[in-house]
């Protein structure tokens, strides 16, 4: 029984890492989810058994970052390579799949970067405040998932985000090639301090398998690029969830 449960959790986590794949699988099962109405976040826990945790879980994400605890957290050793595979409009967001070889070291754990994708407005809030957008860098190893989140505010143009906006497919289910020299690190702030807490995926099945690493400093992007994203996804952010006595640690 324990072995079967472990395999099931890994399978669910694997689907969640690829929203396009998950969307196809769930379409076959007649399950549909979105960000409003009868299929919105308030009803995700009713979708199917696998998504029950969306409504009943005690470690759900995103959350509001309020009071934090300063801690000696390990340095984020980010070693992301240049190069991406393709950009996908999966019907829920714009996702950029990266080539193999990019890693994140966190203490004694090493994770592989799989993809990054965007939410509008930000899913996490800071002292109750939303940012215009948020990008999630999704990593995986045998132990679980680690997601580096970066809050996005309007200001100077970010060349990488501008390229994503220029090339993103306007139709759900479509993909396109991107410049192979693009560097994911261009969407990271210079400061590497971060908030850390244990949480979940922010989309169904909301599996509570995620180590969240939210950068404390935002990155700037052009307001015109945010507006262009909004033409496709005006709102694709899950509301903040109850902390349920979880502590948020802050590095530095």
Query: 189-219, pLDDT tens digit by residue?
Result: 999 999 999 999 999 999 999 999 999 999 9
Number of residues assigned to the chain: 252
pLDDT at 233: 98
pLDDT at 252: 77
Q: Which domain holds residue 218?
A: 2-251
Q: What is the pTM of this model?
A: 0.89
Q: Which position among 39, 92, 119, 130 bears the catalytic label?
A: 92
117 included as an active-site residue: no
pLDDT in tens, 3-23: 343 333 444 444 444 443 343
Q: How far apart (Å, rounded) are the C-alpha atoms in residues 134 and 237?
A: 9
pLDDT at 83: 86
**Which ranges of the chain have pLDDT less than 70?**
1-30, 180
The CATH number given to whatever domain includes residue 65 is 3.10.200.10
> What dihedral angle (degrees, nearest 10) is formed by the CA atoms of 36, 240, 111, 90?
10
Q: How far apart (Å, rounded) are the C-alpha atoms in residues 16 and 209?
A: 11
The total number of structural domains that make up the chain: 1
pLDDT at 65: 98
pLDDT at 125: 98
Count CB-CB contacts under 10 A for residue 228: 16
Q: Is the distance from CB of 141 to CB of 166 less than 8 angstroms?
A: no
Q: How far apart (Å, rounded) are the C-alpha atoms in residues 196 and 190?
A: 18
Q: Give the residues across from 111 on adjacent strands.
A: 104
Q: How far apart (Å, rounded) are the C-alpha atoms in residues 33 and 236?
A: 11
- Shortest CA distance to 151 belongs to which of 161, 166, 168, 136? 136
Helical residues (DSSP H) of the chain, grouped into ranges: 2-17, 19-28, 53-56, 159-167, 223-232
pLDDT at 178: 83
Instruction: Please state the separation of Cα 196 from the chain's center in Å.
Output: 14
Count CB-CB contacts under 10 A for residue 167: 16
- Orientation of helix 2-17 relative to helix 19-28, angle to 10°: 110
pLDDT at 187: 98
- Orientation of helix 159-167 relative to helix 223-232, angle to 10°: 30
């Amino acid at each position: 029984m324990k072995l079967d449960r472990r395999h099931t959790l890994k399978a669910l986590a694997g689907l969640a890492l690829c929203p396009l794949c998950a969307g196809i699988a769930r379409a076959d099962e007649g399950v549909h989810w979105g960000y409003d109405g009868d299929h919105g976040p308030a009803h995700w826990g009713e979708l199917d058994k696998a998504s029950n945790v969306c409504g009943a879980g005690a470690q759900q994400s995103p959350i509001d970052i309020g009071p934090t605890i300063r801690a000696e957290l390990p340095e984020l050793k980010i070693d992301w390579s240049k190069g991406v595979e393709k950009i996908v409009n999966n019907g829920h967001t714009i996702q950029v799949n990266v080539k193999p070889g990019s890693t994140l070291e966190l203490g004694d754990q090493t994770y592989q970067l799989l993809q990054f994708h965007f939410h509008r407005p930000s899913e996490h809030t800071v002292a109750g405040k939303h940012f215009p957008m948020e990008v999630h860098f999704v990593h995986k190893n045998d132990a679980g998932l680690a997601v580096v989140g970066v809050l996005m505010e309007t200001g100077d143009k970010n060349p990488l985000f501008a390229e994503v906006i220029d090339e993103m497919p306007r139709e759900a289910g479509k993909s396109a090639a991107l410049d192979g020299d693009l560097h994911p690190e261009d969407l990271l702030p210079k400061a590497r301090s971060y908030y850390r807490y244990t949480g979940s995926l922010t989309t169904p099945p909301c599996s509570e398998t995620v180590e969240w690493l939210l950068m404390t400093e935002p990155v700037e992007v052009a307001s015109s690029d945010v507006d262009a994203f909004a033409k496709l996804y005006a709102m694709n952010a899950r509301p903040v969830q109850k902390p349920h006595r979880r502590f948020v640690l802050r590095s530095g």
